[in-house]
Structure 1
Amino acid sequence: MAINRWDPYREVFTLESRFKPLFRGFDQGAALTAGFVPAVDIYEDAEKVVLKLEVPGVEEKDLDVRVEKNTLTVKGKRSFEKEEKEENFQRIERRYGSFHRSFTLPTSVDAENVDAKYNAGVLKLELKKKPEAQPKQIKVNVGKSLAA
């Protein structure tokens, strides 16, 4: 029977090696390839649902907006300019790469009536509500008696 020397740190090193892949990409160089998640504001009024996504630096041709069934999907890509790669960067904090956001639409939204506008790095999506989902005002007649 062989005698093995006990190493109190063996389990720690084993645990570290198992966790390393989870944290790969959090260093500064990974900022060039890691994707980003654009911030979004969502609000609703009587006639429409509006989403505003912050996507500065994303060109219009790199945006893909789709509605399938009751899901709105926005995909895009922000590329790192090749000319800038040769610069001597001290710090890179902006994220580059692809993003993908999906939103479940309420049944009151008309999926065939979507308007998309892109201005100053903000993608604005307006989804009109179905006519039956919009509130209807009822006129109240004043001065008429109920007994008549």
Structure 2
Amino acid sequence: MAGLTRRDRFELPEPMRRLFEGDWDVPAFRVEEYRDGPTMVVRAELPSIDPEKDLDVSVTEGTLRIRGERRESEEQKSRNGYRSEFKYGSFTRDIQLPPGANPDGVSASYHDGVLEVRVPVAEDGGSGRKITVNRA
């Protein structure tokens, strides 16, 4: 195998690199999940969204689904011409809820471009046990 050389870096073709770097027209959004006592909190960055028209939050079979559509348009009219630009796309994110999550107690709020979903989770009482490790 003397004719083989090692490449230190693999270069993707431009269209594939753009795909992995997120340079596409489908809007992506960031999500963070954490526990706040007995509550699971999911926060999503969703700027420029009208939550009453463009957002759907649901819980089905232990999965939280955030679905929406982003529509932005800009028009500039002047004496010399007309310019219109628009961006649109739909997005969906599914998040698995922990065992004991109560779908009836889920609440959601939207403030300053951030969606916050709070899911009450029952404390895990008795489904596991602590194992004592003895020194041999």
Tell me, which stretches of 5 or more residues in structure 1 are unaligned? 1-19, 136-148
| CA deviation after TM superposition for structure 1 residue 77, in Å | 1.1
Distance 1:80 1:67, change over 3 A: same
Which residue does 1:46 correspond to in 2?
A: 37
**2:109 equivalent to 1:117:** yes
| CA deviation after TM superposition for structure 1 residue 129, in Å | 1.4
Which residue does 1:59 correspond to in 2?
A: 50
Tell me, which stretches of 5 or more residues in structure 2 are unaligned? 1-12, 77-81, 126-136
**Identical-pair percentage:** 30
* Counterparts of 1:113 and 1:134, CA distance in 2: 17
Range with bigger deviation, 34-43 or 120-129: 34-43
| CA deviation after TM superposition for structure 1 residue 134, in Å | 6.3
Structure 1 segments, 4+ long, off by >3 Å, are: none
Contact 2:98 2:121 in 1 (8 A): no
Contact 1:46 1:134 in 2 (8 A): no
| CA deviation after TM superposition for structure 1 residue 42, in Å | 0.7
* AA matched with 1:116: A
Which residue does 2:72 correspond to in 1?
A: 80
Which residue does 1:129 correspond to in 2?
A: 121
Provide the alpha-carbon RMSD of the alignment. 3.1
* Counterparts of 1:51 and 1:96, CA distance in 2: 24
| CA deviation after TM superposition for structure 1 residue 107, in Å | 0.9
Whose Rg is larger? 1
Contact 1:71 1:102 in 2 (8 A): yes
* Counterparts of 1:69 and 1:39, CA distance in 2: 23
* AA matched with 1:67: V
Which residue does 1:105 correspond to in 2?
A: 97
Deviations 1:2-36 (Å, cap 9, x if unpaired)? xxxxxxxxxxxxxxxxxx9xx39x5xxxx7x8212
* AA matched with 2:120: K
Contact 1:47 1:134 in 2 (8 A): no
* AA matched with 2:35: E
* Counterparts of 2:36 and 2:116, CA distance in 1: 15
* AA matched with 1:105: L
TM-score, normalisation: structure 1:
0.59
